[in-house]
Amino acid sequence: MLANGITRVGVVGSGTMGAGIAELCVTKGVDVRLAVSRESSLVSAPRRIAASLARRVEKGKLAPAERDAALARLSVGTDLADLADRQLVIEAIPEDEQLKLGLFATLDKVAADDAVLATTTSAIAITRLAAVTSRPERVIGLHFFNPVTALRLVEVVPALPTADAVTDLVTAFAEDTLDRRAVTVADRSGFVVNALLIPYLLAAIRMVEAGYCPAERVDLAMELGCAHPMGPLRLADLIGLDVVVAIAAALHAEFKEPLYATPPSLARLVEAGHLGRKTGRGFHTY
């Protein structure tokens, strides 16, 4: 076990979540190696993280020297073998079960024997991912929320075989090193937050789909009537409509309940490539 805690982290995937996790870690003094899948991301990924840090400097939330020190802790590469010296490797690739299963099988081969393998999946069972490795007792869910640098919750999700010492280690890392509030939850699809959130979003989408109320009014009603900082349709757009569909599909597959079924209008938007804020159009236009 890692007696002195976690100081070297690998992050696989440089999308919204991967980049956010990498940025959070480097600002908290952790050495991060970011593994990307495309050569172009060798430049674009650190550039996006640097731009995000620059905005925090402009807002007075980070000193220039802190920004520079954080960037010095970040390295980027395309070879997963470079993660061999990492104490914790966090998977943050797209919410596709087959992709994740393949990645965990690979990480099991390249990571150090005592490394912890974590996933930030929103809905896929951690036990299923752990089963493709030779170290299921060292696999765990570490579910961050978007935007990672602003939202303080982390769901810690032990798989059935996860060792208690690994759960304790990862929880301490999330709370003591990353300054996040860790909540340990059972390994059920959606965990706590998404198991509650996704049916709410889908209900709002069905309301719009049925012509009961336009998206703008549904959002306004929930913002003003329930003091939500963002209405459900804007929140779905922020999450990414493709991600909402993927989480809903995982929930529906596990629980077989109609409230998790994807509404047709949501499926059509995703099929058209209108994924929300990241593509400029979803239930709203950006």
Residue 285 lies in a domain: no
Number of H helices, E strands in the chain: 11, 8
pLDDT of residue 3: 45
Residue 279 pLDDT > 80, yes or no?
A: yes
Q: Both 30 and 96 in a single domain?
A: yes
Q: Both 138 and 56 in a single domain?
A: yes
Q: Both 62 and 180 in a single domain?
A: yes
Q: pLDDT tens for residues 194-208?
A: 999 999 999 999 999
pLDDT of residue 1: 44
Residue at which a domain ends, from 184, 202, 229: 184
Q: Both 93 and 211 in a single domain?
A: no
Q: pLDDT tens for residues 218-239?
A: 999 999 999 999 999 999 999 9
pLDDT of residue 9: 98
Q: Both 89 and 229 in a single domain?
A: no
Residue 283 lies in a domain: no
Banded model confidence at residue 53, pLDDT cuts 50, 70, 90 = very high
Residue 162 lies in a domain: yes
Counting the structural domains of the chain, the total is 2
Buried b (16+ CB within 10 A) or exposed e, 123-148: bbbbbbbbebbebbbbbbbbbbbeeb
Residue 286 lies in a domain: no
Q: pLDDT tens for residues 92-105?
A: 999 899 999 999 99
Residue 178 lies in a domain: yes
Residue 3 lies in a domain: no
Q: Both 140 and 31 in a single domain?
A: yes
Question: What is the helix (H) or strand (E) element at residue 31, kind and residue range?
Answer: strand 31-35
Q: Both 107 and 223 in a single domain?
A: no
**Mean pLDDT, all residues of the chain:** 96
CB 12 within 8 A of CB 110: no
Q: Both 217 and 177 in a single domain?
A: no
Residue at which a domain ends, from 140, 161, 184: 184
Averaged pLDDT, 136-154: 96
Residue 174 φ then ψ, to 5°: -65, -40
Q: pLDDT tens for residues 8-48?
A: 999 999 999 999 999 999 999 999 999 999 999 999 999 99
Read off the CATH number of the domain in which 138 is found.
3.40.50.720
Q: Both 30 and 163 in a single domain?
A: yes
Q: Both 162 and 41 in a single domain?
A: yes
Residue at which a domain ends, from 184, 212, 246: 184
Picking from 242, 241, 128, the residue whose alpha carbon sits closest to that of residue 189 is 128
pLDDT of residue 123: 87
Write out the catalytic residue numbers.
122, 143, 155, 194
Residue 23 lies in a domain: yes
Distance CA 26, CA 46 (A): 12
Residue 203 lies in a domain: yes
Averaged pLDDT, 158-177: 97
Environment class of 273 (CB within 10 Å of its CB; exposed 0-12, middle 13-18, buried 19+) = exposed
Residue 156 pLDDT > 50, yes or no?
A: yes
Q: Both 173 and 208 in a single domain?
A: no
Q: What percent of the chain has pLDDT over 90?
A: 97
Banded model confidence at residue 258, pLDDT cuts 50, 70, 90 = very high
Task: Identify the domain containing residue 130 by its residue range.
Answer: 8-184
Averaged pLDDT, 95-124: 96
- Maximum pairwise Cα distance, the chain: 58
Torsion angle of alpha carbons 126, 132, 134, 136, nearest 10°? 10
Read off the CATH number of the domain in which 239 is found.
1.10.1040.10
pLDDT of residue 4: 58
Where is pLDDT greater, at 217 or 3?
217
pLDDT of residue 153: 97
Whole-prediction pTM value?
Answer: 0.91
pLDDT of residue 5: 87
Averaged pLDDT, 69-75: 97
Q: Both 140 and 226 in a single domain?
A: no
